[in-house]
Amino acid sequence: MAPEAPRRLPPAVIALGVVSLLTDVASEMIYPLLPAFLVTLGASGAFVGLIDGAAETVAAFLKLASGWWADRLERRKPLVVAGYAIATVMRPLVALARAPWHVLIVRATDRVGKGLRSSPRDAMLADAAPPDRRGAAFGFHRAMDHAGALIGPLVAWALIEGLGAAHRSVFALATIPGLLALAVLVLAVREPPRSSSPPASTPEKIRSAPTPSAAAGVGGSLSYGGDKLGGRFAAYVACLAVFTLGNATDFFLLLRAQELGVPASQVPLLWALLHLSKSTLSTWLSGLSDRLGRKRVILGGWLVYGLTYLGFAAASTVWHAWALFLVYGVYFALTEGSEKALVADLAPPAARGRAFGIYNFTLGICLLPASLGFGLIWDRAGHGSAFIVAAGLALVASVGLVFVPTTASR
């Protein structure tokens, strides 16, 4: 069930949340079934990593470009609509795949849509939300997204177990919620006006003016389209990049769960459990960043991530997989909304599209080497080594973030 919308969140935030809920119902009817489906098509561990990594790399470049376009176009909504439309059309075509490379092409094209829509949509959310409610707004959006990702696997499981549907039929039926999401976006989402004034102070008292990057240990401010985003923003993005290099595709978690004895028929339920954790906690835990500070909440999430990955390395029985997936959702709830809220805090209003473009580009472009590297370590040294390396990179990123001056007063 979708989380109840917090009070005082604007209608545009609520409507975009509904769009994300329906989109993720469609997406997550497919995603948890893909690893086993790829294995039946003959894919190796490295190729599994390549598929999601390459797809997110495609999306990353388009997120960067769409952020730039979003700040220069009079309206951002057309880019968002185009992105959702492409994904709605392409996503179910995985039902026609007969070889692993077919899945790669469909997945990459699907991510073209995600690349077009993500940065403009995030900028729209930042424009719509009051500064002192940004953490809650982005957290609510992620909660709705994860509520859809909870419903999607349950629908897939019901179709497979209750009606005896084949995986390919489930993939094709994912078209229906995708079309509903597109209808809500076109008919119900009104683009908020853009702010021309600096953002109000948040609990961290972040200023939008650039600061010298030497304090953050990086060379120079990020300049994208002629606007300086500041040394603090550059240092923050650098820490995100290091963390993401240890954050491979979740396909590997699903494969690890099956190694531990989770039956293939229960994988959608396991995936639904993860999103139950995310959807019920995201609004609240990301909202904590409005009161406790963005950096503290993000660091807490990265700590949970590292401990969870060490748990996957040491796990030895079926119930470990179920428990770890539940805890893994806490990491997402702490970080997803908080990270985006910090991007909005650090970027001046006129550069928010570009700031989210850089943020989304960084996460996407690092996923390919992260997933390929994780897959190669998995194939050559075993799953334990892969999870330990990923947890180590999370620790390195956390230490770096401690020294990033994201606050003016503490």
pLDDT averaged over consecutive 10-residue blocks of the chain (410 residues)?
Answer: 56 90 91 82 76 77 83 86 92 88 88 87 85 82 85 89 85 93 91 56 37 36 55 91 91 90 85 85 84 91 96 94 94 90 84 85 85 88 92 95 66
pLDDT of residue 155: 92
CATH placement of domain 11-190+207-402: 1.20.1250.20
User: Which residues face 121 on adjacent strands?
Assistant: none
End-to-end CA distance of the chain: 39
Q: Give the helix/strand (H/E) hosting 262.
A: none
pLDDT of residue 197: 38
Q: Give the helix/strand (H/E) hosting 1.
A: none
Question: Long-range contact list for 40-46, CB < 8 A, 24+ apart?
Answer: 41/97, 41/98, 41/99, 41/100, 41/103, 42/99, 42/100, 43/100, 43/103, 44/375, 44/379, 45/252, 45/255, 45/375, 45/378, 45/379, 46/372, 46/375, 46/376, 46/379
Helix axis angle for 352-381 and 231-245, nearest 10°, is 20
Spell out the residues 6+ positions from residue 4 whose beta carbon is closer than 8 angstroms to its own: none
pLDDT of residue 199: 40
pLDDT of residue 207: 35
Q: Are 334 and 347 in contact (CB under 8 A)?
A: no
User: HSE of 350 in the Cβ direction (CA atoms, 13 Å)?
Assistant: 9
Cα 260 to Cα 39, 313, 318, 320, 383: the distances in Å are 17, 11, 5, 8, 12
Q: Are 337 and 138 in contact (CB under 8 A)?
A: yes
Short-list 386, 238, 366, CA closest to 314: 386
The domain limits of the chain are 11-190+207-402
pLDDT of residue 83: 92
CB atoms under 10 Å from CB of 258, counted, come to 18
Burial 27-44 (b: 16+ CB within 10 A, else e): bbbbbbbbbbbbbebebe
> Which amino acid is located at 207 in the chain?
R
Burial 103-134 (b: 16+ CB within 10 A, else e): bbbbbbbbbbbbbbbbbbbbbbbbbbbebebb
Q: Are 139 and 3 in contact (CB under 8 A)?
A: no
Beta-strand ranges (E) seen in 91-183 are none
User: Which residues face 227 on adjacent strands?
Assistant: 224
Q: Are 397 and 242 in contact (CB under 8 A)?
A: yes
Q: Are 297 and 285 in contact (CB under 8 A)?
A: yes
Q: Are 183 and 63 in contact (CB under 8 A)?
A: no
User: Which residues face 90 on adjacent strands?
Assistant: none
pLDDT of residue 7: 54
Burial category of 156 from C-beta neighbours within 10 Å (exposed 0-12, middle 13-18, buried 19 and up): buried
Reported as a single tens digit per residue, the pLDDT across 57-71 is 788 888 888 888 888
**How is residue 363 written in tokens?**
């996460």
Residue 5 DSSP code: P
Reported as a single tens digit per residue, the pLDDT across 350-397 is 788 888 889 988 888 888 889 889 988 998 888 899 999 999 999 999
Q: Is the pTM of this model over 0.85?
A: no
